[in-house]
Amino acid sequence: MKADIRVAWILARAAGPRERWRTSLTSLGALSATGFALAAITVAAIPGQVSIPYAHGLLDRPGERAGIAFSLVLLLIPVLAFLGQCARIGAVHRDRRTAGMRLAGATARQVRRIAGAESALACLVGSVTGLGVFAVLLAVTGHSPRPLVWAAFGAVVLLVPLLAAAVSVLALRRVISSPLGHFRRTTPGRGRGTVLGFLLAALLIATAALLVLLPRGGAALMPLLVLALVLLTGAGALWTVGASAALIGRKLTHRAKHPSVLIAAARLAHDPWAAARTHAALLLVTVVGVAFTGVRGVLLAELTGRQYPPGNLAFYTTGIDLAGAAVLTALAISLCGLAVGAAESVATRRSGLAAQAAAGVPHRVLAMATLLETALPLAPALVLAGAGGAVVYLAYAAVVGNGFVPLLPLLVPFAIHAACLLAAATSLPLLRRVSHPSELRFT
């Protein structure tokens, strides 16, 4: 393991211009993860009932602080997914030197460990920078944590690179490099569909059990029921992405009349679960976003429609705004992961794209196929995710009983779908470069 870390350090120091942007993205993701984790620890470490002149009293009581800390921890999920996407796209740009390591006797597992160590080193830079920025913010606000909290900060700085290395190794587990510099990704066949099927069954059983126990447990089981519904819908939407990609690819391959549709369908049929791998965090954010938008509308209507509204209305609106900011942050991170995944897909297929361009396929056809590869399998999954989020906020509206049912949340899946297309479109400049026929000289 020490030899792998030493090799990763040498490769990181000798990184070329094509890899610096990947390292920068990885460091930025680590900085974000460190910031969220340190903020969660700081909020959770505040003792007892206090008076903090921020957020209109939202940080004064332990109950509200626990909710804020839990929300900050949940933001680590899209960040880790983003780091996994950065690891995949990094493997493509390191093919030639990886081939040299394979020729020198390194195994595929050692190559993946070295790639994970590279991600860990880049994340260490980001986590240390995040700790420095957070320490400055604490000094500016006049807050001085206890020594035990500083020890927890140090543990986070070390834990984030370790998590990034684990995510990188997991993301590259199906990427196998040959000694001749050719990368291929093994296809899992039906394995992922089977795993998701078991997961859906387990979540369905847990949700049914919570529904049975809800009349006895009362409000204490309501958060668990909402969490189970969100996870159930997210897992179902994730399965829908893979299943619809396989179905759409198989049907359109035989019936497509436009060349861009035919190219996109062939890619989906070849690896239908690639879309599910990229869109996992995004689908969960969609479920939460639809549910939050609906709950926000119902709650605000209830607060402002009372005959005697609460005296400290800013306490509620501040909490709602902070929750909305967390959802938007998770959406932005997920969209960045989608953009990185689209770039990774284009870079992986650069030899095939160059061959198609050399054969006379116009660039607009290749660009449209790239966008369709994202749009086609994502549409039904977003509809399912939106339906799951709608169930959550409709149930909340039924419990509140004020008769107000907002329709704005139903537009959230369409807005997210448009944002996903814009994120996928960021890979089009790379597509123009890698699809040039001159790329055939390097394949």
Q: Is the pLDDT of residue 90 over 60?
A: no
- Note the pLDDT of residue 186: 47
Which neighbouring-strand residues pair with 185?
A: 175
Q: pLDDT digit string (tens) for 5-33?
A: 776 666 666 666 566 777 788 888 888 88
Kindly state the percentage of the chain with pLDDT values over 90.
Answer: 5
- Note the pLDDT of residue 189: 47
The string of DSSP letters for 114-141 reads HHHHHHHHHHHHHHHHHHHHHHHHHHHH
Q: pLDDT digit string (tens) for 298-342?
A: 888 877 776 666 666 777 777 788 888 888 888 888 888 888 888
CA distance 284 to 279: 9
* DSSP 8-state assignment for residue 172: T
Residue 415 banded pLDDT, cuts 50, 70, 90: very high
* DSSP 8-state assignment for residue 184: E
Residue 421 banded pLDDT, cuts 50, 70, 90: very high
HSE-CB for 271 with a 13 A CA cutoff? 17
Q: Which of 229, 223, 115 is nearest to 175 (CA)?
A: 115
The string of DSSP letters for 266-284 reads HHHHH-THHHHHHHHHHHH
Least confident of 31-35, 91-95, 208-212, 278-282: 91-95
Q: Which of 83, 78, 88 is nearest to 24 (CA)?
A: 83
The total of other beta-carbon atoms located within 10 Å of residue 302's CB is: 16
315-346 in b/e burial notation, b at 16+ Cβ within 10 A? bbbbbbeebeebbebbbebbbbbbbbbbbbbb
Q: pLDDT digit string (tens) for 334-390?
A: 888 888 888 878 877 877 888 888 888 888 999 998 898 888 888 888 888 888 888
Q: Is the pLDDT of residue 188 over 50?
A: no
Q: pLDDT digit string (tens) for 104-126?
A: 777 777 777 777 787 788 888 88
Q: Which of 386, 384, 418 is nearest to 290 (CA)?
A: 386
Residue 128 banded pLDDT, cuts 50, 70, 90: very high
CA distance 213 to 284: 25
Residue 422 banded pLDDT, cuts 50, 70, 90: very high
The string of DSSP letters for 349-418 reads THHHHHHHHHTT--HHHHHHHHHHHHHHHHHHHHHHHHHHHHHHHHHHHHHH-SS---SGGGGHHHHHHH
Residues belonging to the chain: 443
Give the best-scoring range by mean pLDDT among 75-89, 96-110, 298-312, 418-432. Answer: 418-432
CA distance 389 to 411: 12
Handedness of CA 305, 310, 312, 315 (dihedral sign): negative
Mean pLDDT of 171-180: 56
What the block records as the tokens of 421 is 């297309």
Q: Which of 325, 322, 326 is nearest to 54 (CA)?
A: 322
CA distance 406 to 79: 30
- Note the pLDDT of residue 77: 79
The total of other beta-carbon atoms located within 10 Å of residue 193's CB is: 16
Evaluate whether 237 touches 286 at the Cβ level (below 8 Å). yes
